[in-house]
Structure 1
Amino acid sequence: MAKTVFQKVLNRLGDKPANLVFQLSNTPLMRRRLGKRYSRALDRHRPSLPKLEGIDREIVEGLRRDGVFITSLDALGLPGSAEMLRAAQKVAGECTESARRDADAGRQFICAPASATVDNPEIFHWGLDERLLDIAEAYIGLPAAYDGLALIYTVADGTELGPRQWHRDREDRRMIKLAVYCSDVTDQGGPFELISREDRSQGVDDHYVFEFGTEDVLNKRLGPDYSRDIVSCTGPVGTVVFADTARFFHRGAPAFDKDRAALFYGYFARRTRHPYYCQRSGLKPREIADLSKGLSPRQRASALWHKTLPTWLRLIPPAPI
């Protein structure tokens, strides 16, 4: 009972508990400790990393080199892809009217309700395919946590707010966001964009300063010619984009000529550096546990990663997007 009351109090504080712990974890002493622990974990796990072949290896090599790799559902050839895409397009269609109302009301971030994932488990399960977990683990360097998904709907209103501004994600030191386009995306249709130039002003355990990439910030961090390395990920329905959204500035470009619907799956290390900036799918722990029933031990461990955190970290509510 006391734990429940305490949790309710923390929930009322919004992102304040998460931001406080974030600040404490970035004191010089804690940065050094966490950095050493992270380096040891990478060294210990290196001999156990998956051995990849074919397009899976190309994806990891592309992420290491450019921070982004563009392919398609057909090229990946994962089982259940057609069913997943059909379900996602159905959900996107059902969200169209409410998404446009939300956009008219000034809402910056619009995604399908978590209930859509519960009602369409094939969308959730697709992201736990063993090959995807192999790709994520090989790139991240540690066993991968699966943070679920969000179906993000971008209304073609030309606005440049929230995630449509250049930014870096806060979940971990390195991570993968996997986007699946549920509609055709042209250069005027809100493509995912990434600046293929790593922000080296922020080392693995240097100060973590997350700020929108204004022109001044990008010039300072990436150099005045950063625009030469902007990758605009256009493509037809079924286009798949792998990107490291922690190390590289990225955005969903404003949409002008057509609404965009895309699924975004998230992966990072199970012992992520900033767990209180994760869990953004909107799913309740009980719902994730139910969706994970019948899966392999590895898949369940990936989906239920939050359970392995220390108790005090599990009590901190995820910061709102």
Structure 2
Amino acid sequence: MYKFIQKARNKFIKKIDAIPFIRYQADLAYQTALEKHISQLPAISTSDFDLIEKIKHEGVVITSLEDLKIPSTPKLLQAAENLIPKILSSIAAQKNDFTIHASAQQIMEYPEIFLWGLEQRLLNIVENYLGLPVAYHGAYFRRDIANQVEQGSRLWHIDKEDRKVLKIIVYLNDISEDKGPFQYIPQSLTAKVVQSLKYTSGYIRNQTLQEVISPANYKSCTGDAGTVIFAATSSILHRGKPPVVSERFAIFFDYTSRRQKQLLYCNSSLPHSDLLLLANNLTEKQKECIFWE
């Protein structure tokens, strides 16, 4: 019932947003919010500023856990190492399944995974990219099955939850071209493809995309375990390339602004009751990022 209501809400918002006057007013409100918040953006290092500029220009930046040097990374990796065997033992419900997510209960057994996404430095990077206060939607621990199924996030799409969406992806195993890399079309080319296909939302099959752009323009994010990808998924066409040789294990950390009325799919990876338990050891700023609704 909840999914039906959410779907109806999203459909209604899209129709309203399509009205030129409403869209114009929303644009004004958005620009006003950006201007109002600019003086409140947290201070960041020169290297983090450069990282953000690269995200804005290309849409994606590839780095590593080693280079980021986030303090709680050892705890994240230990938790992931403990959780992977439990995800491996999971069995896909249907032959067409292509991914298995860790359950909320499993994430709560290893809260270090969720909490890594609330590291203050990461939140500062995200806030400076968004230009607005951060809404943290949580951590999604994924096992992507090695098969030829092309559905959902394996199809090309642009995230429409907010005007700006940032995802931080951490690879937990070595990912080569045939092991399910995150793929994207650079921002400059994405704009041309969107115009050619008259794309507004939803999924695009690879065959359809190739009618307007050569696969030579696809960018695959490959790398060893510990590779980290910052992806501005609201401004680039992207997908998870189906893994063929072996399964992919990765964690996705999702962020948008807190402008709830403008958001689609307002949700968290954990239920509210679990967030309350985790909040006991969080700072006030971190709490604001998870209790933003």
Pair in the same fold by TM > 0.5: yes
Structure 1 residue 95 and structure 2 residue 83: aligned?
no
Give matches, 1:104-143, under 5 Å. 104-143=94-133
**SS of equivalent residue, structure 1 residue 110:** strand
Q: How far apart are 1:157 and its partner, in Å?
A: 1.2
Q: How far apart are 1:226 and its partner, in Å?
A: 5.7
Give matches, 1:1-321, under 5 Å. 10=2, 13=5, 15-99=7-91, 101-102=92-93, 104-198=94-188, 199-200=190-191, 209-214=200-205, 218=209, 224-225=212-213, 227-272=215-260, 274-281=262-269, 283-306=270-293
Contact conserved, 1:182 with 1:262, CA < 8 A, in 2?
yes
Distance 1:12 1:45, change over 3 A: closer
Give the AA of the match of 1:94: K
Give the percent of matched residue pairs that are identical in Structure 1 and Structure 2. 32
CA RMSD of aligned residues (A): 2.4
Contact conserved, 1:289 with 1:304, CA < 8 A, in 2?
no
| TM-score, L = length of structure 1 | 0.82
Q: C-alpha deviations, 1:88-145, integer Å up to 9, x for none?
A: 232222111324x33x532244211111121111111110011001100111111111
User: Whole-Å Cα distance in 2 between the matches of residues 274 and 261 of structure 1?
Assistant: 32
Contact conserved, 1:110 with 1:153, CA < 8 A, in 2?
yes
User: Whole-Å Cα distance in 2 between the matches of residues 138 and 27 of structure 1?
Assistant: 30
**SS of equivalent residue, structure 2 residue 23:** helix
Q: How far apart are 1:24 and its partner, in Å?
A: 2.6
Structure 2 unaligned blocks of 5 or more? none
User: Whole-Å Cα distance in 1 between the matches of residues 261 and 178 of structure 2?
Assistant: 36
* More deviation, 45-54/294-303: 45-54
**SS of equivalent residue, structure 2 residue 259:** coil
Contact conserved, 1:55 with 1:76, CA < 8 A, in 2?
no
Contact conserved, 1:153 with 1:261, CA < 8 A, in 2?
yes
Count of aligned positions: 289
**SS of equivalent residue, structure 1 residue 46:** helix
Q: How far apart are 1:148 and its partner, in Å?
A: 0.4
Q: C-alpha deviations, 1:23-82, integer Å up to 9, x for none?
A: 234322321221110010111112222332243223201101100000111100001101
**SS of equivalent residue, structure 2 residue 48:** helix
Structure 1 unaligned blocks of 5 or more? 1-8, 307-321
Contact conserved, 2:193 with 2:213, CA < 8 A, in 1?
no
| TM-score, L = length of structure 2 | 0.89
User: Whole-Å Cα distance in 2 between the matches of residues 107 and 229 of structure 1?
Assistant: 28
